[in-house]
Structure 1
């Protein structure tokens, strides 16, 4: 970005020097027509280059904004995936603890219905958390792959513009 701004500044300075040189030549009235024509052609080329730099700068800003937006979306999806994975880990820990309590009660020969209910609830939560994590992971993958599968329309436009110049 700073390279484009620096190039634009340098071109503008060169255009100012050319304009002041033209002013001096037109003031003396001693320039021949070939020199005047060459100067006019240079003015046109300089104007075209300035316009092209402006267009490239705008395109760069637009692309940068799109990349920022895509990055923010990806970060949000990764955050949701992380939250879902933490929920899954917690549910699995609860499930392990409930199963251990059931094994201990079974070894002691004591049937405790609340332990069975607690284990079933933990298993259901683990299944829900697994489903949410899988869904978040699939959405993250889809979001990452979608831009790669789209047609790069901007590359074709760039090639056409370079052929025109």
Structure 2
């Protein structure tokens, strides 16, 4: 059981790192100026490496959970704590997968936004107004807002999931 608690702690830490990475990505987006010589491909490579590392960590944690499940006796109906713990681990794993997907969407959208902004800067420097390019930039910006919203919804779902057991316990304590 201590190993399950450790795995749960590690999953929570991974979720925290993902959240911090998304915040850092959002904070770094305005500061990165591709026209000033910034290279998005280096950032994409770094983010891809981070995503690969997180996927590897998730795979390792799943393998450990599977190994623990095979060594522990199967929970009996009277052993509700083991089933509750497994349900919570499964739920946290799903949340980690959702956040990883949202982070991938956010990265993709940010790259698209940067490309559109770079094109708009070039058009502005040449004093050319391209309505189609402006339209693409606006669509990319709308997609960025949608992705941000989906990310926030996933984060709120995680918070609600953590608070629900506490809310259920409150009437018992009163």
TM-score per shorter chain, which class? Answer: 0.5 to 0.7
TM-score computed with the length of structure 2 as normaliser:
0.51
Per the alignment, residue 76 of structure 1 pairs with 94
Query: What is the distance in 2 between the residues matched to 1:72 and 1:153?
Result: 26
- Any conservation in 2 of the 1:95–1:122 contact (CA below 8 Å)? yes
Which ranges of structure 1 fall in alignment gaps of 5 or more residues? Answer: 2-56, 156-165
Q: Which one scores higher on RCO, CA 8 angstroms, separation ≥ 6? A: 2
Structure 1 stretches of 4+ with a deviation exceeding 2 A read 152-155
What are the Cα deviations for residues 14-72 of structure 1, in whole angstroms up to 9, with x where unaligned?
A: xxxxxxxxxxxxxxxxxxxxxxxxxxxxxxxxxxxxxxxxxxx764x321011101210
Which ranges of structure 2 fall in alignment gaps of 5 or more residues? Answer: 2-75
Structure 1 residue 154: Cα displacement: 9.6
TM-score computed with the length of structure 1 as normaliser:
0.53
Query: What is the distance in 1 between the residues matched to 2:106 and 2:131?
Result: 25
Name the larger-Rg structure. Answer: 1
SS in 2 for 1:110: coil
Q: What RMSD in Å do the two structures reach over aligned CA positions?
A: 2.4
Matched, 1:102 2:109: no
Change (3 A) 1:153 1:116: closer
Query: What is the distance in 2 between the residues matched to 1:111 and 1:58?
Result: 69
